[in-house]
Amino acid sequence: MVAMIEMAEPSGKPDYPFLRVTTMGDFTLSRVVAPSAGRPRYRALSSEELGNRKAALAILKFLLCSPRRRATKAEITRMLWPARDSDNANHTFDTAASTLRRQILHLPGTDSLLNTRRLNGETHLILAAQAWIWIDADALIKLAQTALRQEQQGNDPLHYLEAAHALDKGEFLEEDTNSLWTQSRRQTIEGAKRRVLYHLVEIYCKDQQVGKAEELLYTFLQTYPEDEDALCRLMQLLAHQGRRQEALNVYRYSAELMQETGKEPGIYTQELARQLQQGMRLRENNATYHTLQPQYIHTIILVA
């Protein structure tokens, strides 16, 4: 069994993070390669460099999902390797934790970015703070909170909302969507992402920048085509511009995707589509009386 070494957190606050972790979209680790004055440069670690370190990365992800970036050895082994016996799970943990500390989170000239403490008879693993290990999801939540605080103080939150939305590159830990230990953190992040999205849509519409609001919703639905909140908002936005057919096309596309997985749109979404369909026919019929000769009117109304 590998001995656990108790280490303290790095002291002070660095000028920039030594490691950047992308959790939304492709999971990547980027290490600083130019620790000099000015803006630092980062290089993403390749799959070859990470090699056979799946267990070490699993511990890292678990800590990213844990409150205050910390968890006990017992929690980690129980959730990550539930099918293994105690000795086997403990050996896997010790080896993986050592790999994570010495090969992934160790940077020359610094203390380890993964700290170990003994508290109340239990071994705790603790990741360094955001100033040392920058995590995109944590940055997004912080920006969303700052935007809300700025608005409450009577300031414009737009800059913070746009910065938060720019960090959203996809689903949180998309390779671990079925893992129970990701669910609590995933819900928090997805909730923040949606609050940012809908707040931006509201601001853009209020500022008569409807095109920007549309683009946000269309882009979001490309990633989450079954999200009915975004679907309904886009349908309503298009309908208010008289683009009912486009709104119905968006609805049908999402509905077809849902049907492929045995689902169907909710009652509210179906009712909105029904109202749009009826409204579109009425609009087309009314327009017919102004554009066609009398002998063609009866035929068009029957087929509309």
Query: What pLDDT does 10 receive?
Result: 60
Q: Which residues are registered as beta bridge partners of 31?
A: 19, 43
Query: What pLDDT does 215 receive?
Result: 96
- Of the candidates 109, 133, 157, which is a domain's last residue? 133
Query: What pLDDT does 280 receive?
Result: 58
Query: What pLDDT does 49 receive?
Result: 85
Residues 147 and 70 reside in one and the same domain: no
pLDDT value at 1 more than 90:
no
- Residue 225 or 163, more confident: 163
Those residues with Cβ within 8 angstroms of residue 229's Cβ, 6 or more apart along the chain or in another chain: 194, 198
In a domain, 14, yes or no: no
Of 150, 244, 248, which is closest to residue 203 (Cα–Cα)?
150
Using an 8 Å Cβ cutoff, are 139 and 130 in contact? yes
Residues 123 and 143 reside in one and the same domain: no
Residues 127 and 259 reside in one and the same domain: no
- Residue 94 or 303, more confident: 94
- Residue 154's domain spans which residues? 136-303
In a domain, 37, yes or no: yes
Render the burial of 190-219: b for 16+ CB within 10 Å, e for the rest: bebbbebbbbbbebbbeeeeeebbbebbee
Residues 95 and 226 reside in one and the same domain: no
- Single-letter code of the amino acid located at 123: T
Residues 154 and 297 reside in one and the same domain: yes
Residues 224 and 276 reside in one and the same domain: yes
The stretch 105-120 carries a mean pLDDT of: 84
The stretch 264-283 carries a mean pLDDT of: 83
- Of the candidates 87, 106, 133, which is a domain's last residue? 133
Residues 28 and 172 reside in one and the same domain: no
- Single-letter code of the amino acid located at 178: N
| Pair of tokens at residue 102 | 């010495």
Query: What pLDDT does 35 receive?
Result: 61
pLDDT value at 293 more than 70:
no
Band (pLDDT 50/70/90 cuts) for residue 232 is very high
The stretch 90-94 carries a mean pLDDT of: 95
Q: What is the mean pLDDT of the chain?
A: 86
Residues 174 and 53 reside in one and the same domain: no
Element (H, E) at 126: strand 122-127
In a domain, 11, yes or no: no
Number of domains in the chain: 2
In a domain, 144, yes or no: yes
CATH of the domain at 68: 1.10.10
Report CA 232 to chain centroid distance, whole Å. 20
Cα–Cα distances in angstroms (integers) from residue 226 to residues 45, 105, 216, in the given order: 33, 38, 15
pLDDT value at 6 more than 70:
no
Residues 299 and 224 reside in one and the same domain: yes
Measured CA to CA, the distance from residue 303 to residue 14 in angstroms comes to 70
In a domain, 258, yes or no: yes
Band (pLDDT 50/70/90 cuts) for residue 125 is very high
The stretch 103-129 carries a mean pLDDT of: 87
Residues 287 and 156 reside in one and the same domain: yes
Residues 251 and 157 reside in one and the same domain: yes
Band (pLDDT 50/70/90 cuts) for residue 11 is low
In a domain, 8, yes or no: no
Indicate whether this model's pTM tops 0.85.
no
Render the burial of 132-150: b for 16+ CB within 10 Å, e for the rest: bbbbbbbebbebbebbbeb
Q: Is the dihedral of CA 278, 284, 290, 293 positive or negative?
A: negative
CATH of the domain at 155: 1.25.40.10
Give the full edge-to-edge strand order of the sheet including 19-22: 42-44, 28-32, 19-22, 133-135
Neighbour-count burial of 4, counting CB atoms closer than 10 A to its CB (0-12 exposed, 13-18 middle, 19+ buried): middle
Residues 275 and 297 reside in one and the same domain: yes
In a domain, 6, yes or no: no
Band (pLDDT 50/70/90 cuts) for residue 67 is very high
Measured CA to CA, the distance from residue 53 to residue 45 in angstroms comes to 12
In a domain, 167, yes or no: yes
| Coil, strand or helix at 200 | helix
- Of the candidates 71, 100, 133, which is a domain's last residue? 133
Q: Model confidence over 145-192: pLDDT tens digits?
A: 999 999 999 999 999 999 999 999 999 999 999 999 999 999 999 999
Q: Model confidence over 21-55: pLDDT tens digits?
A: 999 999 999 998 876 667 789 999 998 888 779 99
